[in-house]
Structure 1
């Protein structure tokens, strides 16, 4: 790390927020076969502890943990029979709880299903995590339309999606509108329960279109969005602002907006793209994602982040980024040990933690009551 002083704002802007999304061996389906991967340890506490402590060494705002009620699948509608990709996850809240005592600053944000989970259970579980983490917990509520998720609870599938729907986030969110309505009610109910216990965790929402933007604006503090270009950044920021207006979000409580990118990073130009091609070959198909896929050097990624951050849509700008490492731990190490120092040299990222809670990292008001 560079000298621990407060960085100078870039182009008059405050320093970036940076988050990392952790999932299995990485976000590439063949990541478990990449050099340095640890597939035999994916279901051990030590593996996750190593990843999160590394993220904290990089001074990142937060890490998110992916989760689902059913196994991962290449199909939207249900399980597949792939045996050449990672299937299964540890419980995201329990991972966060396990690493909480091993860390002291970084925010811990698990994903939980809100379609089939009761608000009282969510409120108690997440409030317990927040106390274990001394105010560093957050939450990412997630809806589910999969039939195999519903089958765990003896319920019919709430919606049906086809492979062709992947090309249209608006189509997906439109078909899932009832689920997002239910999710908004669950988030509101959990918030009321937290108020009763003098607890309020930051709520983060992954959103691709108008309906999930409105969910984020109703009950969230951070929206993870998925533009693909500077023009896309401007369009998304405009849509998020419109969603906030539509749900009457108070102007004094602006929604933080982070852009998601799936990243492969190597120091030598062209090396990351070659590694991606090799993993694509092993997976049997090109890498697909709901987010922009970046393969390049840490310095090139720094250029992209700052270019996207410079986009101004009627006074709205991105607050930060959530990066999805394609290969773990390789791309996480590239983020913490190469990208972060590069951003620090440019005065665009913190050189020391200045807060001890996730609210503090994000510049959000502290909860009204004590956490003890």
Structure 2
């Protein structure tokens, strides 16, 4: 089973793009699967998706996964922004789905009051669902760019999604062509109970916080079983342990490598998402210490075998749900 490693490049109070680009490049030198950048309506900070769009041209292989809040935002705009990140990164985009639960955050928009977590996560699942449908609303070869006839698009290969959710409806099609990956990678922090169904049903990667191997193993088993109940192949859901790491002590580099190796060897997790306690110091020690040790032992790759985030995660490129229907109609 392939070991997957990702790292947070959060840097509170930093608004310039250069430190984020430097962190992403450092993670890329270690051949990590992806970097994440958090975001929230509840604190000041640069827009994570916009920051990683700025970072994309300066990187070549690392996956880029910003947090995107689905509450109070328009699903159509959300999917278009994530699809655009996939285009500008040449197929390296993902998004971490999150919700906004406080009344103070709701007042920033003034559209509605805060809702219970269960309701918010059901809506988040519907946003993930309609996003995937909108990414499929252009078939891969919908763009024809025929100069002689002046035709840019084959309109028969654009599709209405006609989605009716609990709090929104979307007709479609998208304004952005189908992303290079088909669907950018969807990540959900499944630690909170209300988020687990959404993760099991829609996520490609689920993050779980566990203090021990037994807890991580139980969380992975629960999520994969739930995914199977939703009709998914369990292997299509990667479960990563989400750990905050403080590598101020020199011995902690070796201890972290041992923990990663033992948890992964046991089959408890598919990999790890690491959050440096001290961003600059600990990220450097993760890549040049922990990851280097794992690579030396042959437990983690030393180069990227593919070019997209789905390649890194051993995830297939999804088939277009509308292309088969379109083909049937033309037969």
Q: TM exceeds 0.5? A: yes
Q: CA deviation at 1:254?
A: 2.5
User: Counterpart of 1:257 in 2: which secondary structure?
Assistant: strand
Name whichever of 301-310 and 251-260 sits farther off: 251-260
Cα deviation digits, residues 238-295 of structure 1 (max 9, x gap): 221232234x2322753110000000114634xxxxxxxxxxxxxxxxxxxxxxxxxx
- Corresponding position of 1:23: 10
Structure-2 change in CA distance of 1:309 and 1:158 (3 Å): same
Aligned counterpart in structure 1 of residue 202 of structure 2, from 198, 210, 219: 219
Q: CA RMSD in A?
A: 1.7
- Corresponding position of 2:152: none
Aligned counterpart in structure 2 of residue 186 of structure 1, from 127, 130, 135: 127
Name whichever of 175-184 and 186-195 sits farther off: 175-184
Aligned length: 278
- Corresponding position of 2:173: none
- Corresponding position of 1:207: 190
User: Counterpart of 1:308 in 2: which secondary structure?
Assistant: helix
Q: CA deviation at 1:158?
A: 2.1
Name stretches of at least 5 consecutive residues in structure 1 with no aligned partner: 1-13, 26-38, 72-87, 160-174, 270-296
Aligned counterpart in structure 2 of residue 177 of structure 1, from 102, 118, 137: 118
Aligned counterpart in structure 1 of residue 255 of structure 2, from 291, 294, 300: 300
Structure with greater contact order relative to length (CA < 8 Å, sep ≥ 6)? 1
Name stretches of at least 5 consecutive residues in structure 2 with no aligned partner: 139-177, 321-331
Q: TM-score, normalised by structure 1?
A: 0.71
- Say if 2:78 is the partner of 1:122: yes
- Corresponding position of 2:227: 244
- Corresponding position of 2:41: 69
CA contact (8 A) 2:240 2:270 kept: yes
- Say if 2:54 is the partner of 1:98: yes
Alpha-carbon distance in 1 for matches of 2:133, 2:204: 16
Q: CA deviation at 1:235?
A: 1.8
- Corresponding position of 1:258: 240
Superposed counterparts of 1:1-372, under 5 Å: 14-25=1-12, 42-71=14-43, 88-159=44-115, 175-197=116-138, 198-199=178-179, 200-246=183-229, 248-251=230-233, 254-266=236-248, 268-269=250-251, 297-312=252-267, 317-368=268-319
CA contact (8 A) 1:266 1:334 kept: no
User: Counterpart of 1:318 in 2: which secondary structure?
Assistant: coil
Q: CA deviation at 1:55?
A: 1.1
Structure-2 change in CA distance of 1:131 and 1:148 (3 Å): same
Cα deviation digits, residues 30-50 of structure 1 (max 9, x gap): xxxxxxxxx6xx110111111
Q: TM-score, normalised by structure 2?
A: 0.80
Alpha-carbon distance in 1 for matches of 2:121, 2:210: 21
CA contact (8 A) 2:236 2:315 kept: no
Cα deviation digits, residues 106-161 of structure 1 (max 9, x gap): 000011110111111011111111100000000111011011211111144424xx
Name whichever of 127-136 and 259-268 sits farther off: 259-268
